[in-house]
Amino acid sequence: MTLARVVTFEGVTKERIDQLKSELERGEPPEDLQVREMVMLHDPDGERSLVVLFFDDEDAYRRGDEILSSMPAGDTPGRRTSVARYDVAMRMTM
């Protein structure tokens, strides 16, 4: 079953999003981070961001959660305000 790690951040400027996009497009994810897909939403007026990471199974999620939870604050979009885990009940691209 696919699992999602949903993280919210505050204090996320447009400049920080631009910087993260550039870093992610040039680089590779952290070693052992087995993320299937990532979606990052940004509210520039409210300086908020929502990041959804999709993992194929429980083991990948657990490893990913450990890696991401130990990241230095400077490597994240902003101030992390919540982290939640969801089962992906449905996924569709139209």
Reported as a single tens digit per residue, the pLDDT across 23-73 is 888 876 667 789 999 999 999 999 999 999 999 999 999 999 999 999 888
Tell me if 55 sits within 8 A of 3, measured CB to CB.
Answer: yes
> What is the pTM assigned to this prediction?
0.89
Residue 47 lies in domain:
3-87
Does residue 92 lie in a domain region? no
pLDDT of residue 54: 97
What integer is the mean pLDDT of 2-9? 97
Is residue 34 included in any domain, yes or no?
yes
The CATH number of whichever domain residue 58 belongs to comes to 3.30.70.100
- Phi/psi region, residue 31 (left: phi>0; alpha: psi -120 to 50; beta: rest), is beta
Q: Is 94 part of a structural domain of the chain?
A: no
Considering the domain boundaries, does residue 32 fall inside one?
A: yes
Domain membership of residue 52 (yes or no) is yes
pLDDT value of position 29 = 67
Mean pLDDT along residues 65-90: 91
